Structure 1
Amino acid sequence: MTASGTGERRRRSPAFPIGLTLIALFFFAGFCALGAWQIQRLSWKRDLIARVDARIHARPVPAPRVAVKTDEYRRVRISGHFLHDKAALVQAVTVRGPGFWVLTPLATDQGFTVIVNRGFVPPENRKDYARPLGEVQLAGLLRLNEPGGGFLRSNDPAADRWYSRDVTAIGAARGIKGPLAGYFIDADAACGPDSLPVGGLTVVTFPNNHLQYAVTWFVLATMIASAYIYVMRQEWKDRRG
């Protein structure tokens, strides 16, 4: 303002519109790019959910010796005999409350060993559950290894404390001889509803918030564009005046 108080606006530098345009363009392009990326992620996630759903409901196929990423959640079947003396209990929280997964190695008829998640047992039944002997046949979902441990808790093989289904570490701790599959199988539920362990508790869910994220980024881009237009209109009016 002038000293006389007429309210005249101070004229900005001629470089102001250029700088403002560059800044607005940078943020507008960035937000639009993030929105487009989330749309791509949405398409990928929907395709993933469809593929996993098809695997889960497909007829079981023979369990492979080696599994790859695309084999996860595939329904497989296997036969052999359990090595109950080498079982491990992994802490778990399920729809039935806290307890343990019973992970038992299965010496297969194909000449390798695969660890089977036989199901859930509550803490009071950690030693009191069924241990079938002889030849068994089972089906379930192929799951990839879970190395390291759980949230903020690392597996402690020396103390026999397990927080994730790390089949490699469990196999080493239990001294399993011969080839060991690098995955485990979540076994289907047994025939008896009250039998332990309780199988068939695998929860297959994939967070899919990509559409909300995309809308958020595009709204921010729109806000940037609207703010830029408003400021530039005011600048144009001031310069005309």
Structure 2
Amino acid sequence: MRYKFLFSIFVFFFISVFISLGSWQIVRLNWKLDLINQIETSLKNNPVNLTTSTQKNYLRIKTNGSINFEKQIYLYNLNEKGKPGFEVVSPIKIGNKDYLLNRGWVPFDKKDNKILNVFDENNITGILKKQIKPNRFKPKNDLLNNYWFTLDRDDIFKFTGKKFSPYVIYLSGNNELPKPKLITANISNNHKKYAMTWFSLAISIFLLYLYFRKKNY
């Protein structure tokens, strides 16, 4: 009898854990849907002046500044077709603040090409994105050869001697090269699938419990 009681406690403990995990995924799902809606709304808005607006993720902005082409960063990445190359990330002074301007993707053979320095600094339209922590599993940046895998802030300071805003400006437009990165609200949202998995496990265990209980009582 005691064995059956302990077994029931054990089963219901795991059922409650799985239900809790599923409920948490529902909370995360609602949060993610709200975030996607905010991003989509922000991306549809007209660009606002960077220096007079409250900065936030996915804010469409317009501005002007002064780019330091000598300290341009070449960040390894793939383009939308999966071809390897570099994203051209330019330090830019806007007002009294320093930003990183991601101007877009170029193939390897365009690295350090002076044609990339032909750019209208007085008419910049883009999208703000808060810089995330670099993936620690990526290779280390080669500062000597200006070959980057992450925008590590310590490395950026060593390379440029400056500290930058936590927001990176992603240039908008239809330029051929550098080809601006397309920023969308298409972010990972698997919380519904995870919730269904946890709830299914809880139901399955409960049904198995009822089966064995009926069989052994």
> By the TM > 0.5 criterion, same fold?
yes
1:66 positional shift: 10
Which of structures 1 and 2 has the larger relative contact order (alpha carbons within 8 angstroms, sep 6+)?
2
Unpaired stretches in structure 1, ≥5 consecutive residues: 1-13, 237-241
Cα deviations by residue, 1:178-221 (Å, 9 ceiling, x for unpaired)? x732321010124x5x3x21114335421111111111111111
Q: Distance in 1 between matches of 2:120 and 2:191?
A: 49
Unpaired stretches in structure 2, ≥5 consecutive residues: none
Q: CA RMSD in A?
A: 2.5
The answer to whether 1:232 aligns with 2:213 is yes
Cα deviations by residue, 1:138-183 (Å, 9 ceiling, x for unpaired)? 111112224445643233435533112345632441234xx73232
Q: Which residue of the partner structure matches residue 167 of structure 2? A: 183
Cα deviations by residue, 1:15-36 (Å, 9 ceiling, x for unpaired)? 1220121111111111111111
Q: Name the count of aligned residue pairs.
A: 215
The answer to whether 1:174 aligns with 2:160 is yes
Q: 1:200 to 1:160 in 2, by over 3 A?
A: closer
Q: Which residue, out of 25, 41, 47, partners 2:34?
A: 47
Pairs within 5 Å for 1:145-156: 145-148=131-134, 151-156=137-142
The answer to whether 1:58 aligns with 2:45 is yes
Q: 1:174 to 1:198 in 2, by over 3 A?
A: same
Q: 1:50 to 1:204 in 2, by over 3 A?
A: closer
CA contact (8 A) 1:105 1:113 kept: yes
Q: Distance in 2 between matches of 1:120 and 1:137?
A: 19
Indicate the percent of aligned positions where both proteins have the same amino acid: 27
1:95 positional shift: 1.1
Secondary structure at the residue paired with 2:117?
Answer: coil
Q: Distance in 1 between matches of 2:186 and 2:179?
A: 20
Q: Which residue, out of 192, 203, 206, partners 1:222?
A: 203
Q: Which residue of the partner structure matches residue 144 of structure 1? A: 130
Q: 1:188 to 1:168 in 2, by over 3 A?
A: farther
Q: Which residue of the partner structure matches residue 24 of structure 1? A: 11
CA contact (8 A) 1:66 1:181 kept: no
Q: Distance in 2 between matches of 1:146 and 1:158?
A: 24
Q: 1:37 to 1:200 in 2, by over 3 A?
A: same
Amino acid at match of 1:201: L
State which structure, 1 or 2, has the greater radius of gyration over its C-alpha atoms: 1
**Alignment TM-score, normalising by the size of structure 2:** 0.87
Q: Which residue, out of 90, 94, 97, partners 1:112?
A: 97
